[in-house]
Structure formats: C-alpha cells, structure tokens
Structure 1
Amino acid sequence: MTIRLGYGTNGLTDLRLDDALGLLADLGYDGVGLTLDHMHLDPLAPDLAARTRHVASRLQELGLGVTVETGARYVLDPRRKHGPSLLDPDPEARAARTRLLVRAVRVAADLGAHAVHCFSGITPPDTTPDTAWQRLTDSLAPVLDAADRSGIPLAIEPEPGHLLATLADFHHLRVLSGDPPPLGLTLDIGHCQCLEPAMPVDCVREAAPWLRHVQIEDMRRGVHEHLPFGEGEIDFPPVLEALDTLSDTGYRGLTVVELPRHSHAGPELARTSLEFLRAHSPSNQDPPMRDPSSHSPSSR
C-alpha cells in the first residue's frame, strides 16, 4: 500500500502534542494532520516560532510527515464555533481569519508540511451567493499569495453546510479566482458519502488532479457525522484502492483519519483505525473469484 496514513490531532485533544506524536509514531502512522489550536500548537501564542521549531524537531525525530489543518472550533472566537469565517459580514473579522491562514502557511513552511487545509465557512444570514463568493475569493487572495511564496499549497475542503460544500463548488472557486496554482483540494471521504452525487471511489478519481490532502472516516448518506470505521456505510476497499493509485498522479500527501469528536477514545481509535485501513487495503484483498464455466467449451 502506497497510501501514507496519518491521524488528526483534533481527535487527540486529551493528549499533550508530544505524547500524541509519539503515540502515532509508535503505532506505525506515516504522519499527522496537525490542527493549530490552543491545546497543541497555538497559532496565537507569542512564542509561536519557538514552539514551531520544537514541533519540527519532534516530527523529524519521529519520522512523521505533516499537514497543517485550520479547523479548530474556537481558536479565534471563544463564543462562535469556527468564527469569524472568511465570509463574515465584518471586513475586519474576515481579515482575522485571513491572517490566521497566512500564519498557518508560515507554520507549515517551517514544519515542512505537505499543505495547509482550510474551509470556506457557512454563508451568513441575508448574504447573497454572489456576495459570499466574492468575500471568499477576496479573503483567500492574501493566503494564496503567501502559499505561492512559500511553496506550500492551500487545500480547501468542501464541507457540508458551508458555501463551498461540494467538488462542484471547488471548481466554481477555481474559476472565480483565476485557477491559481497554489489552490488545491482537501477531499474528505466521509463528506463524499454524505452529500456528493458520485460514489466516494469516483470522487477520489475525479478529484485526483487537484488533490493536496485527504481526510478519511466512515459516514452515512445525508448525515454529517464522523464515525469510526465500520459504523457507517462506506465501502472502503475500492476507495483505498483508488487512493493507492494517487501516487501515479503525483500525490505525495497524507490520508488522515478525521475523528474530531472522539478524543475521549483517541489512543484506542488511532490503533483500531490503522488496523482497519491496513486490513482493507488492496494488498489484503482476495482477488475476485473466477467463474470456472467461463473457460469450459460449453460456455463459448
């Protein structure tokens, strides 16, 4: 299996970051999806540069790759989940989110990360779609400039309920923003099951040219709830087979288990998730049974 597997630190928030990274390395993960948040690598800490150097050293020591994720719930506003967003009606509030993402790009460069993940946010009440898309493109412009300078791609994630919710929405943003080279895609396999018209395996194939980051978990159709593997509806062997071929398209990033509401069981789920993904990988699947009659004279 060529898939490089990681686990998201937003599912290990009860652990100190050093301990979380050590756990993932001991279990055999290839990397980590590092959410910048107060309990781990706080992007607003006055000594962020020193903390980042420590984390970079720890990652190198453990041989872990990293993608920087920016989905912390209350990192900017202790009262509004994921607020302010890139779509906020207040220009200064939008600018605060933009500054956070630019800072995340700098952190990612210092860590040697594969990409920086982000999402659009929910369209505010009384905001037209045209206004929301304009705010998004304007807010992302400085982030994309920073990404271009640093050589770290920005991987925006289609998120159920957000302005940018589907793969079609991602392509709409590409067109509106002039298809800048640093703009890439985070594909969440569970979100594909939740609301994309295509099957998750087909989403992987369709997304391949723009893919910069992958998140994975189980999920049910029409229900945005991240579930441990085996508790949802996704048929994983074909999905993992499709992911396994991404290296042929040049993808070198991680496939990160995303279970942000399961930190209470994080260490155990990190173990069982890796076991599940390995057990359902292409190398562990039996070849399809061949029909003996297809080679008999009477069948010709």
Structure 2
Amino acid sequence: MSPRLGYGTNGLTDLRLDDALGLLADLGYDGVGLTLDHMHLDPLAADLPDRTRRVARRLGELGLDVTVETGARYVLDPRRKHGPTLLDPDPEGRAARIELLVTAVRVAADLGAHAVHCFSGVTPEGTDPDTAWKRLKEAMCPVLEAADAAGIPLAVEPEPGHLVSRLADFHRLRHLLGDPEPLGLTLDIGHCQCLETASPADCVREAAPWLCHVQIEDMRRGVHEHLPFGEGEIDFPPVLDALVAIGYRGLTVVELPRHSHAGPEMARRSMEFLRAAGERA
C-alpha cells in the first residue's frame, strides 16, 4: 500500500487541461487536484456542463481520479486575490462565493470526484472574531446542503492567515455546525509544518476521522511558502507511512502553485521524490 498521488492543476497553468491530464497519466499519477479557474475548467462559463462532460471523458480515458479544488486566485474578482470569501462584509460577495462552491459540488458530482476543497478566507479588517465565525457558519450551510444532496464531501482546508488556520479551528467550525456528515477536512502537509505544534505525521493521525483530501509539498516552520520537495524541513517517509496506516485512500495532491513556469519538470521530480520517500517509509 502507498498513498494515491495526484498533482494540482494550479501548478500546471501554462498547459492546456487535456495536455496537463495526459502528462500526469504518463508520469504515473493516480489523479489530479482540479482547480476551477478560467484557464482550465471555468466555473463561470456558460457552457460549463458541456466542458465538464468533456473533462469527465478525458479523466476516464486516462484512468485518473479527481478532487475539485476552489483556491483559484482571481476567479470571482480580478482585483482581489481569493475574494470575495465566505467572510466578506458584503452579503452579495458572500453569496458569490457560496454559489461558486455550490457549482463546484455540481461539477464534482459530474466528474465523480471524491471531495470538494474549500477554505474560510481571511477575517476582513474591522470584523470581530464572533462576527466572522457567525458569517462562516451561515455561509457554509447551503454549501453543505448541496454537498449532502450530491453525496460529495466538502473538505475545509486550514490555511495560514485565515479564520480557519489550524486543525483546532476546523474542529471549532465542525462543532459550530453540529458535526454535519458532509463536512470533512483538507489537510495540507506543508501547513502542518508551518503552523501546527504537532509533527505533520502526528497531524495526519489526529485528522484521520475527518480526512477527505490531502495536499502535499515541502515547507519551513513559520514560513507559508510552498516549496519543491527537499527544499524545506519536512521528513516525508513518516508522513506517507501515517497516511497508509490510517487507511486514507483519497488523493494526496502535490500543491506547487507558484511553480507553473516549470510545471512538467516539477511534476516529474515530485513523483520521483514521493516514490523514493514511500520506499523508505
């Protein structure tokens, strides 16, 4: 047994989606973390259902599994990175993000994806914590309803600098929402190294009951910078061993969004590194 590896399309933005998927299949990846964005599968396109059907056929031809990711930088607002979020002071802004996530759930169902990834967003300036948590709880409800109806887990990612930034924040959200069945966790291994007091391998074990999606890259303590493998501080064999030990069978997706300029080479090197690390686990 070994983790089922994927690569994020946000690290392959200079490639056409068909070419990116073909590359990953040729390199031996089990799947893809598909970020909904204008350069690949645009969630705002009028012909999204047709495009989604074509992508589903391509995934099937190549034997690739998929997770739908929603971390595109400017998909909703060309001037605000990741904006608007579920915490936006403007109700219309929150509604736009909610609609994007509901669309992501529909796309995931049509693709046969095993999860939809999302995040809370940064607390807006001038917003007190109680208000931020209230907004997040209210905004999550319609998305969770859609996820429940589609049978697709909604996997929230703790993200450095966001309202939900650590595992403890995920558990706070889970309890606020009443521990709903569709709510799961995206665990980013680099973020564990960056912020959590426990080791990344221990974070995997702690997260096991809720784990629906994993992102992986190297990182240094206290610095939120996604690094190619071997350029940070993470000891990967214990992490991969922990993923196998807990029985996680979703995708473990390489997350290198700032390395698209060298995407094909990064994908090749990442696969070689993780295979070697798995052999040492």
Q: Which of the five TM-score ranges fits, normalised by the shorter chain?
A: over 0.9
Partner of 1:252: 249
| Counterpart AA for 2:263 | G
Q: What is the CA distance between 1:244 and its match in structure 2? A: 1.6
Q: Deviations over 1:237-275 (max 9, x none)?
A: 11111012232xxx3310000000000000001001000
What SS does the aligned partner of 2:117 have? strand
Letter in 1 for 2:165: A
What is the CA–CA distance in structure 2 between the aligned matches of 1:23 and 1:162, rounded to whole Å?
33
What is the aligned partner in structure 1 of residue 263 from structure 2?
266
Separation in 2, partners of 1:25, 1:258:
17
Q: Supply the distance in 1 between the matched residues of 2:216 and 2:249 (Cα, whole angstroms).
A: 16
Equivalent AA in structure 2 for residue 179 of structure 1: D
Which segments of structure 1 move beyond 6 Å, counting only runs of 4 or more?
none
Query: 1:108 — aligned with what?
Result: 108
CA contact (8 A) 2:2 2:240 kept: no
Q: What is the Cα deviation at residue 80 of structure 1?
A: 0.1
| Counterpart in the other structure of 2:45 | 45
TM-score under structure 1 length normalisation: 0.93
In 2, distance between residues paired with 1:175 and 1:246? 23
CA distance in 2, matches of 1:91, 1:37: 23
Residue identity over aligned pairs, in percent, reads 81
Count of residue pairs brought into register by the alignment: 281
Summarize the alignment of residues 75-90 of structure 1 with structure 2, pairs less than 5 Å apart.
75-90=75-90
Cα distance between partner residues in 2 of 1:275 and 1:27:
9
1:5 corresponds to: 5
Unaligned residue ranges in structure 2 (runs of 5+)? none
Map of 2:213 onto structure 1:
213
Q: TM-score, normalised by structure 2?
A: 0.99
- What whole-Å deviation, never above 9, does each CA across 1:33-75 have from its counterpart, x for those lacking one? 0000000000000000000000000000000000000000000
Corresponding residue for 1:69?
69
Which of structures 1 and 2 has the bigger CA Rg?
A: 1
SS of 2:79's partner is coil
Per the alignment, in what secondary structure is the counterpart of residue 32 of structure 1?
strand
Q: Find the aligned partners of 1:192 and 1:148 in 2 and give their Cα distance.
A: 28
RMSD of aligned alpha carbons: 0.8
**2:134 alignment partner in structure 1:** 134
Q: What secondary structure is seen at the aligned counterpart in 2 of 1:280?
A: helix
